[in-house]
């Protein structure tokens, strides 16, 4: 059985073909690196906007929780100090409650507006408190209506009398807090500068 004779240089030719193929592959990979760089350059702005949005969303969510906790702490203090809802002490109580909201996370951290039984109101704006109201109203009983945006005290009612909506006339405290939020990437992120709001009303008696 005869063997087919090899042509001189055929092995070397195949080797050269393979080397040329490897060189071509390297060139293609290098070109691919350039394409990847272009793609990254095009995608980078979108990725940065998304990244900035995630950071600012986490910050605003954290501050919203802190503001809510401050308002809740003031409301809890009011419930524990219902004996101070009287003409002699209501002004100081309102100032204490607004101070809890405004300074719970640092001096002048938030703005606050507290009204104790339509008898005394204390507002803290940029760290400066101001008081107003009629302390004598602290001895009266009310049926507040409205919402967190604007409560209406209406007219005084007899203690324990039925109010519209099924509640009973009593002594109430409204607590509201505000916090200015400044976004790190406000011009580029998904969340801009805004003002956070939290409020509640509690029946102390």
| Residue whose token pair is 């719970």 | 104
Q: What is the reported pTM?
A: 0.74
Dump pLDDT digits (tens) for 134-183: 999 999 999 998 887 788 998 999 988 998 878 899 999 999 999 999 88
pLDDT, position 48: 76
**158's tokens:** 């007899």
Q: What is the mean pLDDT of the chain?
A: 84
> What CA–CA distance (Å, rounded) separates 123 from 94?
9
Q: Which alpha helices (DSSP H) does 81-122 contain, by range?
A: 90-103
User: DSSP class of residue 82?
Assistant: G
pLDDT band with cut points at 50, 70 and 90 for residue 2: very low
Spans of all domains in the chain? 43-203
Of 112, 104, 105, nearest to 129 (Cα)?
Answer: 112
pLDDT, position 43: 74
> What CA–CA distance (Å, rounded) separates 85 from 194?
34
Q: Give the orientation angle of helix 10-80 with respect to helix 90-103, to 10 degrees.
A: 170
In this structure, how many other beta carbons lie within 10 angstroms of the beta carbon of residue 94?
32
SS3 call for 1: coil
**4's tokens:** 């087919």
Dump pLDDT digits (tens) for 99-130: 999 998 888 899 999 999 999 999 999 999 99
Q: How far is CA 78 from CA 97, 102, 117, 198, in A?
A: 7, 15, 11, 17
Of 159, 90, 77, 166, nearest to 122 (Cα)?
Answer: 90
Q: Which backbone phi and psi does 75 adopt, to 5 degrees?
A: -65, -40
């Amino acid at each position: 059985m005869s063997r087919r004779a090899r042509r001189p240089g055929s092995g070397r030719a195949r080797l050269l073909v393979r080397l040329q193929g490897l060189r071509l592959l390297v060139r293609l990979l290098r070109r691919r690196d350039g394409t990847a760089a272009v793609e990254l350059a095009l995608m980078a702005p979108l990725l940065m906007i998304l990244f900035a949005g995630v950071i600012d969303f986490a910050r605003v969510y954290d501050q919203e929780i802190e503001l809510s906790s401050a308002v809740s702490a003031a409301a809890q203090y009011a419930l524990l100090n219902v004996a101070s809802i009287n003409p002699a002490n209501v002004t100081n109580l309102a100032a204490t409650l607004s101070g809890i909201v405004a300074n719970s996370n640092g001096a002048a951290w938030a703005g606050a507006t507290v009204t104790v039984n339509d008898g005394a109101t204390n507002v803290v704006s940029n760290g400066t408190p101001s008081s107003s109201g009629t302390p004598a109203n602290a001895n009266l009983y009310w049926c507040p209506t409205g919402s967190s945006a604007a409560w209406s005290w209406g007219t005084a009612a007899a203690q324990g009398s039925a109010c519209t909506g099924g509640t009973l006339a009593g002594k109430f405290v409204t607590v509201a807090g505000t916090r200015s939020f400044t976004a790190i990437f406000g011009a580029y992120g998904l969340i801009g500068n805004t003002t956070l709001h939290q409020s509640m009303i509690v029946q102390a008696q």
